[in-house]
Amino acid sequence: MTQPLLSVRDLEVKFFTRRATIHPVNGISFDLNPGDTLGIVGESGCGKSVSSLALMGILGKTGKVTGGEVIFEERDLLKLSNAQMRSVRGRQIAMIFQDPMTSLNPVLTIGRQITEVLRTHLQMDKEAARKEAATLLDRVGIPSAADRLGDYPHQFSGGMRQRVMIAMAIACHPRVLIADEPTTALDVTIQAQILDLLRSLVAEEEMALVLITHDLGVVAGVCERTNVMYAGRFVETGTTRDLFERPQHPYTLGLLRSVPRLDRPKTARLETIKGSPRDQTQILTGCSFAPRCAYATDESWAETPLLREIAPGHRVACWNPVSTSVPAGSAEQGGHS
Amino acid sequence: MSTPESAAAQPTSDRKDLVRVEELKVYFPVRDGVVINRKVGDIKAVDGVSFEIRRGETLGLVGESGCGKTTVGRAILRLYKPTEGHIYFEDVDVATISDKEMRKLRRRMQMVFQDPYSSLNPRQNVENIITEPMLVHAIADRKEASEKARELLEIVGLPKDSTSRYPHEFSGGQRQRIGLARALSLNPDLIVADEPVSALDVSIQAQALNLLQDLQGQFELTYLFIAHDLAVVRHLSHRIAVMYLGRIMEVAPADDLYAAPLHPYTIALLSAVPIPDPAVESRRQRVLLPGDLPSPRNPPSGCRFHTRCPFAQTERCPDEVPALRLLQPDHLVACHYAEEIRDGKIEARPPEEAGVEVPRDPQPV
């Protein structure tokens, strides 16, 4: 097998604060190849954003990568100096953030912000950079692009700003694009436009896309593969189809069942996942989902389950996966298909 | 040139309707100038809206940000003063009564807010938060009120002994429950819930939706449920009103609206909602809207949606405001060509014509 484009191994991140140590990411691994679209799904606090910040090397002062490696083009990104990392970040691995309102500099023109990327990373001269910036804006679907280079961010709507962010991210033809909740702040009709744009860019640019989101619908429409994250670990990974059609981890199943669906008849009540997400200051022995899980067994409380393959390409970290079991202690929930 | 929107929406019996909104307009002035602060225009947040909320039902109000849905909800409680129009709560016109009368009436209408972090006073403990409305309205003395508070906490699914704790000790979902207990403390008839679950994680959102449903039965509540998430709105609502840029585009029973939407905007909105199923997603036909929401300061003439509408015609749409008219039983729509679109006589134009790039690769099955 050839070397993957990006390979994350056992990544572990901790935040050290005065009060407590927080464990947002507790060992995750994944590979990306050119053209891959990987969705990382989870609820707030599951560590999905922190892991992407860690591999971009922008964790901030309190955060530390405490274990693992991130191999990109035969180098471990975690071992690079700041200067070396700067030539990777934005050039080969680019990122789009959730909030297009705050991730652009309000006092610089759009043109200036895009040309800055081009001039820093590709050493273009002013004139060439300006031309390229106009081309980029045009590609992401901004009408009369050349005329808008002199505009400031406040003159753009939320959807348009996200298009500008995408233009900046793809400016250097990165190999990997990480999109962290790129459409969460946008209205549904605008979200549909942006997702379509991302889909077509991934196909044209031959890059790999990591889409981080809490919205199962977004993943279903964009990603080939999906990793479900809970309490800083992946609990289920596989092709998006397998995962949605045959969810094996009780958490994945719970997530899928707790959202009302437009394409199904209305149900009287929604199924819920009991309790609330875990306390990040502790690492539990056993499965971190056990306190909320209807399928938990004695084993779940005693030992942390590791990801294991249960069907080709479909892996789950659970002692008592859905298809092989009946939920323990809740008879009315049985009969899943 | 504008036709009265209420012509077809004429009231059924008053007793059935708890709230009746007629031709409501809420404008916010735009001011400019440093020394001479003059008014230079209006943001027409709500611009001629009529609908009714029937006793015991949940009316869902959906639309994208800036469509005026929150303003409508707040105007009903008179947190904003209506510029024009009437809001009848039973027989009282909320738009015109005195502040004193309004205060009395507010006992019967309560609000649950979107953000569970900023809508609870961080310096008050849970008991104070829940008992304050009862004490303000003098419907209970302190002892009765705190007993009621414990009772309500249990009903919304929090431990009874939470009374001495403070908001920061609770998670988002739990705080939303406290907000609900506070709204319930006055035993209101109407609860205006403005995006009550959108700040919550999906697993917690389902719990909150179920609770809202249970409470409706238990307390005989009427809800105005304002939200942008169409799947959530359908789950909870009996009827749904769709707003766009300050006006109502379509009102229909929830199942009708989702099974057979009549307004082009509703059609586009529904087709934009991602479905959590990759098989469904790859098969779906989308109606993508070009461009962004126009400014409510200077809304398009005629039908407000005509600038983005894939079905727009050159006749009538740009210059004639469509009335909200009854097209099917209990199903109102504000579109000149709703019948033709329904019967497939007018086809949607592809959005590329409007300059927005929207490729969609057919995926292998």
What is the radius of gyration, based on Cα positions, of chain B? 22
SS3 A183: coil
Interface test with A, best of B244, B288, B292 (most A CBs within 10 A): B292
> CB pairs under 8 A, 24+ apart, for A265-272?
A266/B234, A266/B235, A266/B254, A266/B255, A267/B235, A269/B210, A269/B213, A270/B206, A270/B209, A270/B210, A270/B235, A271/A333, A271/B206, A272/B203, A272/B206, A272/B207, A272/B210
Q: Which residues of B touch A272 (CB under 8 A)?
A: 203, 206-207, 210
- Helix, strand, or coil here: A51? helix
Report the gap between the CA of A221 and the closest CA in chain B (Å): 5
Shared-domain flag, residues A186 and A323: no
Q: What is the per-residue pLDDT for A324?
A: 66
CA distance B40 to B138: 44
Report the pLDDT value the prediction gives residue B34, as an integer from 0 to 100. 73
Tell me what pLDDT residue B173 has: 87
Partner residue opposite B210 with nearest CB, options A214, A262, A269: A269
Same domain assignment for residues A173 and A250: no
Residue B21 tokens, joined: 């909104």
C-beta of residue A230 within 8 angstroms of C-beta of residue A42: yes
Comparing CA positions, the residue from B284, B290, B274 lying closest to residue B348 is: B290
Cβ contact B119:B179 at 8 Å: yes
Shortest distance, CA B227 to any CA of chain A (angstroms): 12
Residue-level pLDDT at B30: 86
- Determine whether A126 is exposed, middle or buried from the number of CB atoms within 10 Å of its CB (0-12, 13-18, 19+): exposed
Asked if residue B362 has pLDDT above 60, the reply is: no
Give just the sign of the alpha carbon dihedral B336, B342, B344, B347.
positive
Average pLDDT, chain B: 88
**Is there a single domain that holds both residue A62 and residue A158?**
yes
Nearest CA in chain A to B308: A189
- For B:226-285, CB contacts with A below 8 A are 228, 230-232, 234-235, 254-255, 258, 268-281
The domain segmentation of chain B, as residue ranges, is 17-108+188-354, 119-187
Structure confidence at residue B98 as a pLDDT band (50, 70, 90)? very high
- A1: in domain: no
Query: Could you give the angle at the alpha carbon of B131 between the alpha carbons of B129 and B135, nearest 5°?
Result: 125
A201 inside domain: yes
Return the residue matching tokens 């707790």: A258
β-bridge mates for residue A237, sequence order = A227, A315
8 Å CB contact between B73 and B111: yes
Helix (H) or strand (E) holding A332: none
Of all residues in chain A, the one with the smallest CA distance to B269 is A189
Tokens, residue A236: 């289920």
Structural domain harbouring A25 = 6-223
In this structure, the strands spanning B247-253 and B239-244 are antiparallel
ipTM rounded to 2 decimals:
0.81
CATH of the domain at A38: 3.40.50.300
Which of A177, A207, A223 marks a domain boundary? A223
Subunit contact A220:B278, Cβ cutoff 8 A:
yes
Q: What are the tens digits of pLDDT across the range B313-352?
A: 999 999 999 999 999 999 999 999 999 999 999 888 876 5
Tell me which amino acid residue A94 is: A
Which of B319, B310, B307, B303 is closest to B341 using CA atoms? Answer: B310
The interface residues of chain B toward chain A in range 22-81, judged by CB-CB distance below 8 A, are 64-65
Query: Do A218 and A236 reside in the same domain of the chain?
Result: no
* Phi, psi values for residue A13, rounded to 5°: -130, 140
pLDDT at residue A172 in the model: 93
Return the structure tokens found at A176.
Answer: 């990997």
> Percent of chain B having pLDDT more than 90?
67
Residues of A in contact with B270 (CB under 8 A): 262
Domain boundary among A172, A188, A223: A223
| Topology classification of domain B17-108+188-354 | Rossmann fold (3.40.50)
Contact B249, B334 (CB under 8 A): yes
Q: State whether A159 and A252 are in the same domain.
A: no
Report residues of chain A scoring pLDDT below 50.
328-337
Which residue of chain B comes nearest to A241, CA vs CA? B278
Does A269 sit within 8 Å of B213, measured CB to CB?
A: yes
pTM of the model: 0.85
Query: What gap in Å lies between CA B149 and CA B130, rounded to an integer?
Result: 6
CB-CB neighbours of B142 under 10 Å: 11
Q: Smallest Cβ distance to B209: which of A43, A200, A270?
A: A270
| The CA-based dihedral angle spanning residues A322, A325, A330, A332, taken in that order and rounded to the nearest 10 degrees | 80
Among A140, A160, A255, whose Cβ lies nearest the Cβ of B203? A255
Same domain, A256 and A124: no
What SS3 class is residue A111? helix
- How many separate domains does chain A show? 2
Q: What is the phi/psi pair of residue A163, to 5°?
A: -65, -40
And the tokens for A55? 């591999």
Q: Is the pLDDT of residue B1 over 60?
A: no
Which among B201, B274, B289 has CB closest to A217?
B274
Sign of CA dihedral A274, A279, A282, A283: positive
**Residue A60's CB: how many other CB atoms inside 10 A?**
8
Cross-strand bridge partners of residue B52: B20
Probe site for chain B from A188, A191, A251, A274 (most B CB atoms < 10 A):
A188
Chain A contact set for B204 (CB, 8 A)? 276
**Last residue in a domain, options A223, A243, A274:** A223
Sign of the four-CA dihedral B329, B335, B341, B343: positive
Q: Judge whether A165 and B206 are in contact, CB under 8 Å.
A: no
Q: Higher-confidence residue: B130 or B38? A: B130
Question: For residue B353, what pLDDT band results from cuts at 50, 70 and 90?
Answer: low
- What SS3 string covers chain B? CCCCCCCCCCCCCCCCEEEEEEEEEEEEEEEECCCCCEEEEEEEEEEEEEEEEECCCEEEEECCCCCCHHHHHHHHCCCCCCCEEEEEECCEECCCCCHHHHHHHHCCEEEECCCCCCCCCCCCCHHHHHHHHHHHCCCCCHHHHHHHHHHHHHHCCCCHHHHHCCHHHCCHHHHHHHHHHHHHCCCCCEEEEECCCCCCCHHHHHHHHHHHHHHHHHHCCEEEEEECCHHHHHHHCCEEEEEECCEEEEEEEHHHHHHCCCCHHHHHHHHHCCCCCHHHHHHCCCCCCCCCCCCCCCCCCCCCCCCCCCCCCCCCCCCCCCCCEEEECCEEECCCCHHHHHCCCCCCCCHHHHCCCCCCCCCCC
Q: Does residue A195 lie in a domain region?
A: yes
Say yes or no: A22 and A159 in one domain. Answer: yes
Assess if residue A177 is contained within a domain: yes
Regarding whether A253 and A106 lie in a shared domain, the answer is no
pLDDT over threshold 70, residue B13: no
Closest CA–CA distance from residue A317 to any residue of chain B (Å):
20
Residues A164 and A284 in one domain: no
Q: Is B207 on the interface with A (CB under 8 A)?
A: yes
pLDDT band at B198 (very low <50, low <70, confident <90, very high): confident
Is 80 exceeded by the pLDDT of residue B4? no
